[in-house]
Structure 1
């Protein structure tokens, strides 16, 4: 019993004739008849009676057709599953992001993605950049967003965004009178800083050193959003990623540009040499769309 024999039999049953079955399978009518005869020989019972040149299913043939139909339904499901895997990969998309993008950019990209793929499950991890990088490298995430202090070996990385940092301060701080803040303006001012390994922190400290200013850090934290919260409720100020300020400005946080500009750079990470599924590319496109919208607003 071979698949081509079962296919010929199934097609004859649903089409009603060997001629029509031959058309559907794009073979000759004698080839269909031969496959039916070979199948009957292997089964050792008749599937059809030959009546005036036509094939009429026998009771055994009708009973066998029920079983073959169930098998072909299974094949149809396998074909559909294969098409879905070919088109969408696993059918689940796993995303990781640093916290600075977790409240703004990534949720907007998720919302835009779901409008196009409402049935695709999404998992979203928010963690430190080093952990995001490791999870991508180990295949636990399909794509990740991380700050530029990470080790880029072992992952496929591309620069995703670069935004100029701003100084976050409480509404009654003396620096609010300035249009922009320079290193000289921060001399003697209590600072909330990012942790020393942060590359934006490095660039900020270098700008301060170049101007002969010594930063007076009283608090250090890994997250810009935490700096925003602390700046709102105290007398200290801090350099933050502008993408992490949404929601704080509405509650009274004041932002001023810092000059010279200090970039907050974010990388998009993928598994190395991994063929990107359609869903991953689709989500990546949404991320870039959101990024471009935010850049337009800031310009």
Structure 2
């Protein structure tokens, strides 16, 4: 019966046209190669080589057989390359993206916890808009992502990750810091660091302040990022409404966090690709993100009571 040993020997001879080189190619002896070629000719009933003292001369039948062998080896090489890709993917970075509120300190704490659990793992982190993160996850260039709930998630799988009320960030030495809860009327005359006009948070705050007759006292600065608002509050530029995940990074740095009298919830979604299960490491990272959220909420709740 013809088997792979015969085909390997035949292929080596066709490539080298020399028994010694063919033997070296497949790690066999020269007599072993000669035996395999003779067996192949006997088993197939086809003369494959004209033998001279100098070398083997392939017959037309040998060239025809070689073409078929190379086609089959091309398929085998494709399988080998696919297996190599699987090996590389197994060691490729876990890729996740977050909106800015979760993209600095929160991501750092989550990555540190993940590295403690998986010291050999590599991580690729992207921070950007919800639209960018959703597009990256849909394209499989990110494994998981954290986006706001107003993002278009029609091309990904989504689940609720966090529902957190915005909190007031005020200078720790201000009169507002002495109150556990900030009311809308307390904001009258204050420099409120604003979100951009197109931001839904700004719309919601403006409607709320108008409802209670406080008006919207716009400050000298506007920014889309809670982390920036916290930094501006710390520098005495004004006060602002910030996401707790970003505010966590500024605890004890000259700002105080206070509850607002109305609930101002911000919802965050965890997204992943549709139809493809997460790798074990990406799934573990998702769990660590959830644990990091719990510790963040606990620390912010404690700060709100101080």
Q: 1:112 maps to which residue?
A: 113
- Distance between the aligned counterparts of 2:155 and 2:149, measured in 1? 15
Looking at structure 2, the residues matched to 100 and 82 of structure 1 have their Cα atoms a distance apart, in angstroms, of 35
Q: What is the RMSD computed on CA atoms of the aligned residues?
A: 3.2
Residues matched between the structures, number: 237
Deviations 1:223-251 (A, max 9, x none): 00000111122341110011112342322
Q: Which residue of 1 aligns with 2:143?
A: 142
Alpha-carbon separation, structure 1, partners of 2:185 and 2:120: 54
> Higher mean Cα deviation, 246-255 or 230-239?
246-255
Assess if the C-alpha contact under 8 Å between 1:92 and 1:120 holds in 2.
Answer: yes
Contact 2:248–2:299 (CA under 8 A) maintained in structure 1: no
Alpha-carbon distance between aligned partners in 1 of 2:227 and 2:178, rounded to the nearest angstrom = 23
- 1:253 is aligned to 255
Distance 2:91 2:273 in 1: 15
* 2:226 is the counterpart of 1:230: no
Deviations 1:5-42 (A, max 9, x none): 99xxxxxxxxxxxxxxxxxxxxxxxxxxxxxxxx9964
- TM-score, normalization: structure 2? 0.67
Which residue does the alignment assign to 1:276? 278
Structure 1 counterpart SS, 2:282: helix
Q: How big is the shift at 1:287?
A: 0.7
User: SS in structure 1 opposite 2:151?
Assistant: coil
Distance verdict in 2 for CA 1:5–1:186, change over 3 Å: farther
Match of 2:207 in 1: 206
User: Does the Cα contact within 8 Å between 2:91 and 2:121 map onto a contact in 1?
Assistant: no
Contact 2:159 2:270 in 1 (8 A): yes
User: Aligned equivalents of 1:274 and 1:200: distance in 2?
Assistant: 34
TM-score, scaled relative to structure 1: 0.68
Question: For 1:193 and 1:83, how far apart are their aligned partners in 2?
Answer: 48
In structure 2, runs of 5+ residues without a counterpart are 8-32, 40-76, 302-306
CA contact (8 A) 1:170 1:235 kept: no
CA distance in 1, matches of 2:35, 2:274: 54
Distance 1:289 1:171, change over 3 A: closer
Q: Cα deviation per residue 1:52-84 (whole Å; 9 max; x = unaligned)?
A: xxxxxxxxxxxxxxxxxxxxxx9xx99996885
Counterpart among 238, 241, 244 of residue 239 in structure 1: 241
Task: Name the counterpart of 1:162.
Answer: 163
Are the equivalent residues in 1 in contact too, given 2:95–2:123 (CA < 8 A)?
yes
